């Protein structure tokens, strides 16, 4: 009897040991699939941690980290999209059955998202009526966009825009502060362009975050968002 109990105990210990290693890997793969489904990203790497790991089956996690490339959350495709969550409770039924990441509760969230020059140019082409062949330059000082703008289908003018990224709590906008048109027919003039291009609606994410900062670096803009409870 004692020997049988020892064998059973040994098996349980081995199962716990394997679950501590294998369960996080399996759950991380499922979370990665859920984030791929959510963002249509080209590549997603996810890592879930919990001690003891068996508690993951109840939807409890110490941390979840996600690194995505080519994530599409709204109009913009992010070159990099990193999410870090801590002290999370997840609807495991929805996660396992539908590959949907539904948060029941989460204590801390941080998001870092990178927008490239090429992506902003693509967004301008698709969003601004009549714009084509846009080229964008992002420096730590400013954002400059050059595009050919078709006006009424009769005149193609070269347009130079200078602007910046601004944000509300949940929305990121490219705000054009000045423009200049240089065309042999229309001449040359400048002024303020009042149209704002909405790039990102963070409400489309499965958790609530607000924008804290947008920094300009050489060749890219970096968005930082977070939530603490």
Residue 113 pLDDT greater than 80, yes or no = yes
pTM of the model: 0.81
Q: What confidence tier does 140 reach under pLDDT thresholds 50, 70, 90?
A: very high
Residue 67 pLDDT greater than 90, yes or no = yes
pLDDT score of 190: 46
**What are the C-alpha distances in Å from 44 to residues 5, 54, 91, 127?**
44, 24, 20, 27
Q: 172 with 197: CB under 8 angstroms?
A: no
Tell me the pLDDT tens digit for each residue of 69-103. 999 877 789 999 999 999 999 999 999 899 998 88
Residue 156 pLDDT greater than 80, yes or no = no
What is the C-alpha to C-alpha distance for residues 107 and 4, in angstroms, rounded to an integer?
44
Q: 199 with 127: CB under 8 angstroms?
A: no
As a 3-state breakdown, the chain gives helix, strand, coil percent values, each rounded to 5, of 30, 50, 20
> Considering only 75-79, 96-100, 166-170, 172-176, which range has the smallest mean pLDDT?
166-170
pLDDT score of 19: 61
What is the C-alpha to C-alpha distance for residues 116 and 92, in angstroms, rounded to an integer?
35
E-assigned strand segments in 20-59: 43-49
Tell me the pLDDT tens digit for each residue of 178-222. 877 765 444 444 444 446 788 888 777 767 888 889 999 999 999
DSSP label of 108:
E
Give whichever of 17-26, 161-170, 200-209 has the largest mean pLDDT: 161-170
């Amino acid at each position: 009897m004692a020997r049988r109990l020892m064998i059973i105990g040994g098996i349980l210990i081995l199962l716990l040991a394997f679950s501590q290693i294998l369960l996080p890997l399996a759950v991380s793969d499922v979370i990665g699939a859920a984030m791929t489904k959510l963002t249509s990203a080209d590549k997603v790497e996810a890592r879930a941690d919990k001690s003891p790991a068996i508690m993951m089956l109840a939807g409890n996690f110490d941390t979840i980290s996600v690194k995505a490339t080519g994530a599409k959350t709204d109009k913009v495709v992010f070159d990099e999209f990193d999410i870090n969550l801590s002290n999370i409770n997840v609807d495991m039924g929805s996660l396992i059955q539908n590959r949907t990441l539904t948060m029941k509760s989460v204590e801390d969230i941080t998001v870092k998202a990178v927008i490239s020059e090429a992506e902003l140019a693509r967004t301008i082409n698709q969003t601004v009526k009549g714009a084509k062949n846009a080229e964008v330059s992002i420096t730590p000082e400013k954002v400059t966009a050059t595009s050919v703008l078709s006006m009424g289908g009769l005149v193609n003018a070269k347009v130079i825009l200078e602007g910046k990224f601004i944000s509300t709590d949940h929305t990121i906008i490219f705000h054009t502060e000045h423009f200049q048109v240089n065309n042999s027919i229309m001449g040359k003039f400048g002024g303020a362009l009042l149209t704002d291009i909405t790039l990102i609606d963070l409400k489309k994410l499965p958790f609530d975050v607000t924008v804290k900062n947008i920094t300009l670096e050489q060749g890219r803009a970096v968005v930082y968002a977070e939530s603490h409870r």
